[in-house]
Amino acid sequence: MEIVGDNTCMTSIMPKGKVVYCRGEPRKYWLELQFVDEKNKPVTGLKVTLEYHPLATSEEVAHWGKFGNNPFNPTPPPNPPAGITDSQGLVRFDDMYWITVDVKADAQQLADEMEQRPLGLRRNPNSQPVSKNAFHRETRDKNWRSDVQEIAEPAGYKHRYVTIGELCDRLPHMEGWTDPQPPEFHFPAGRALKGTEISHEFLNKRHVIEICPFRAWVLALHDTTDYDLANGLNLGIMADLAYSAEKENKTVAYFFGQKCLDLSAIPHFAEFPSFFHTLAVDVPFRERYLAPVYLSTTESEQPEGDTRLFIVECGAHIIVAWCGTDSLLNGLTDISFAPKKCLSELGGVGNIHGGFLEAYELAKRKFAKRFDFRAIQTSLDKGKSLFICGHSLGGALALTYAAEMKNSHPVLYTYGMPRTFTRTAVQALDTVTHYRHVNDNDTVTQIPPDADLDNRFYEKWGPLGDKLGFDWSLTTAAGLGVAVRDLAFQSAGVAGKKDPYWHHGKTVIFFQAQQCVMKSRHQNVPWIGGGGSDNPAPGVVYYCNEESVKLFLVPSLNDECLNATGEHQAKFIGCLDVASLRNTFPRNTNPSLDGLLSNPLSHSMAHRYLPYIHNQVLELANPDLPMSRKEKRAEFSQEIEKGASAQGNQDEIQRNREFIALQDMLPVTLNRTRSEETGKNALIRFAAVTEEEIEFSK
């Protein structure tokens, strides 16, 4: 094939003959590119280059070569000179040939700039990485339009949504990134480092290129001594995540390495049948979570016991999450009640549950190098906050760890945890910020028994002490609670309490409140009308129908209310009587609200604790959303007032009024989240994708 003239006149990859003539100057074209972030703010001063595509592929050239001896040169003309975006993020290229181009930008300049740009409020579902999970595919939405797109297209401009990897001319330096492959979301496979293609058909147009900021998700956590609902949700999800069997299923690594880097959706943790969404905020990529460290004594070179935890760190905080009871070995640890003296690093006074201490020391011994307290302290010395969490046995281990780290002022949230320290030790740990969640009559929160096990208990039974503890735990699991236990100990002569097991921390209880509502029904009764048993007369029988509702109660909010002033005080409806609350919610033990009953089914983190916390966040994030929990509370409040007008049980009525008032204080627990724009956005995003999870009454 003979070429007459230069290649610049080639506008088709399918030659129509053996000779292609070029006559006169080829027509020139222009291209305008406007670079903006997700908030439609211009990206200024960005160096932009265009690269022409080859005029034909190597396969096409080889194919044409079969029909003649004249080789075809697919080399495109020289690329246009680079341009710099102006104050509107706009750069224009003139005198272009009608050839498809790739748009590229200086990688390091682009990455550094887009790290500082916050995310837009709405997330683009079409930017998801291709899922490798056949059972949970990525979800696209062809009708989805970004806010930038809604402005650009009506103005007649072409719109493109890209990540930085689709513009970078090379791989930028990413602080702390050691993986051989770049982050998948920002550098999508098959498209990264190739530029963003503009077809020759779309020259002579302005293209608005919306760039996804170079950011990552981190959990919204607040270093505060007051109860914070964002902490309650996010640390609860972490406590549940700690149950992962990481050796078989890299759940922890996937959450922090994939979910927290995928900006198409807020991170969530799925545990059938629920999807627990986090409250997450976006941060510069360099402040992302580093690779988590997962530790399990069962997966070490020499397996021993069953203690598991993971540690993860970002630019603002460190999370240490301990795994709860998940095996027979854990169960044996739980019932090893024999107290042991607290080590000096744990305070050096009082006693600690022997089984928990053994499990804790096992982890320290097995992971002396990887679970390095000094390394964590180095990060804390840089101003990072320490958050610790755990469910069940994990809560006990989390408290033990918090005791050792008390000088670093950790924030500890536990869920369904058993008693861990005795009274003397608990009193020495009063500086540790700890909120202990209790789901109604959860059995595990009632063990070990609130008794002086260090004295006459073991003097009386000696080596049978643990055996008695085991028998009592079975009694509790069968549904018999505190009152039955106390009778058993009194009958055995164990009544004095010199240093009993105590609970540590401030209680957060999910309580099933009950209200007696008098109902009536018609029934034939022998004592009305003198009819006798053979001829009973019709009458009306009154009976008590128990109405109930689940409430989220944080008694410490009343203290916060009493101490609040100014604008913060105005956020409370009103404070409650201190003496009455302390009588209902005594410190260092469980509220005596359920008589003899105990329920081991109330203990599940995934099916009892998390759904309730998740729904409470949703209710406060979107107060206008109809929810069954709100309807039930409204009905319950009406029944309270009906009982008051009908001269019902005044003690019960007053107590339930206090409970409703405590529930109504909860909005202040999200004040810190709402105080910043990133927190407000986190709540909006959460409410947009979250549904009311199924709550179980017990």
pLDDT at 408 (0 to 100): 92
Q: Report DSSP state, residue 480.
A: B
Q: What is the largest CA-CA distance in the chain?
A: 124
The count of residues in the chain is 698
* Rounded percentage of the chain residues whose pLDDT exceeds 90: 56
User: Taking residues 435-445, what's their average pLDDT?
Assistant: 93
Q: Report DSSP state, residue 168.
A: B
* Rounded percentage of the chain residues whose pLDDT exceeds 70: 80
Q: Which helix (DSSP H) or strand (DSSP E) does residue 373 occupy?
A: helix 373-381
β-pairing, 83-84 vs 47-52, is: antiparallel
Q: Is the pLDDT of residue 528 over 60?
A: no
Q: Is the pLDDT of residue 128 over 80?
A: yes
Q: Is the pLDDT of residue 478 over 70?
A: no
For the chain, what is the mean pLDDT?
84
Of the two residues 381 and 96, the one the predictor is more confident about is 96
User: Taking residues 180-191, what's their average pLDDT?
Assistant: 95
CA pair distance 138, 129, nearest whole angstrom? 7
Other Cβ atoms within 10 Å of 434 Cβ, number: 23
Q: Is the pLDDT of residue 581 over 90?
A: no
Q: Note the pLDDT tens digit of each residue in 486-517.
A: 555 555 554 555 788 899 999 999 998 888 76
pLDDT at 20 (0 to 100): 45
Backbone angles phi, psi at 91, to 5 degrees: -140, 140
User: Taking residues 653-676, what's their average pLDDT?
Assistant: 94
0.95 surpassed by pTM: no
Other Cβ atoms within 10 Å of 120 Cβ, number: 21
CA pair distance 572, 601, nearest whole angstrom? 34
Q: How confident is the model at residue 464 (pLDDT cuts 50, 70, 90)?
A: very low
CA pair distance 296, 305, nearest whole angstrom? 9
Tell me the three state secondary structure of residue 476: helix
User: Taking residues 571-589, what's their average pLDDT?
Assistant: 85
Give the DSSP per-residue string, 415-474.
ESPPP-EEHHHHHTTTTSEEEEEEETTBGGGG-S-SS-TTTHHHHHHGGGHHHHHHHHHH
Domain ranges in the chain? 24-213, 218-505+588-621+665-689
CA nearest to 512, candidates 438, 457, 450, 610: 438
**CA contacts within 13 A on the Cβ side of 508:** 27
pLDDT at 33 (0 to 100): 98
Return all residues near 228 (Cβ < 8 A) that are at least 6 apart: 222, 669, 670, 672, 673
For the sheet containing 90-96, what is the strand order? 90-96, 29-36, 206-211, 158-162
pLDDT at 526 (0 to 100): 62
Round to the nearest angstrom and report the end-to-end CA distance of the chain: 83
CA pair distance 333, 304, nearest whole angstrom? 13
Q: Note the pLDDT tens digit of each residue in 5-14.
A: 444 444 444 4
CA nearest to 318, candidates 250, 240, 373: 373
Tell me the three state secondary structure of residue 83: strand
Of the two residues 137 and 422, the one the predictor is more confident about is 422
Of the two residues 395 and 61, the one the predictor is more confident about is 395
Return all residues near 227 (Cβ < 8 A) that are at least 6 apart: 435, 506, 508, 554, 556, 557, 560, 669
CA pair distance 49, 103, nearest whole angstrom? 6
Q: How confident is the model at residue 302 (pLDDT cuts 50, 70, 90)?
A: confident
CATH of region 218-505+588-621+665-689, choose from 1.10.30, 3.40.50, 1.10.10, 1.10.3470: 3.40.50
How deeply is 285 buried, as exposed, middle or buried, from its count of CB atoms within 10 A (0-12, 13-18, 19+)? buried
C-alpha distances out from residue 224 to 58, 386, 411, 441, 505, Å? 63, 11, 7, 28, 14
Of the two residues 298 and 77, the one the predictor is more confident about is 77
User: Taking residues 174-194, what's their average pLDDT?
Assistant: 94
Of the two residues 90 and 245, the one the predictor is more confident about is 90
Q: Are 672 and 620 in contact (CB under 8 A)?
A: no
User: Taking residues 633-645, what's their average pLDDT?
Assistant: 85
Other Cβ atoms within 10 Å of 152 Cβ, number: 23
Q: How confident is the model at residue 533 (pLDDT cuts 50, 70, 90)?
A: low
Q: How confident is the model at residue 457 (pLDDT cuts 50, 70, 90)?
A: very low
User: Taking residues 257-274, what's their average pLDDT?
Assistant: 91
User: Taking residues 537-549, what's their average pLDDT?
Assistant: 65
Q: Is the pLDDT of residue 99 over 70?
A: yes
Q: Is the pLDDT of residue 624 over 80?
A: yes
Q: Note the pLDDT tens digit of each residue in 133-164.
A: 666 677 889 999 999 999 999 999 999 999 99
Give the DSSP per-residue string, 31-53.
EEEEEE-TT--B--S-EEEEEEP
Q: Is the pLDDT of residue 104 over 50?
A: yes
Q: Is the pLDDT of residue 21 over 70?
A: no
CA pair distance 547, 535, nearest whole angstrom? 35
Tell me the three state secondary structure of residue 348: coil
Tell me the three state secondary structure of residue 308: strand
pLDDT at 579 (0 to 100): 86
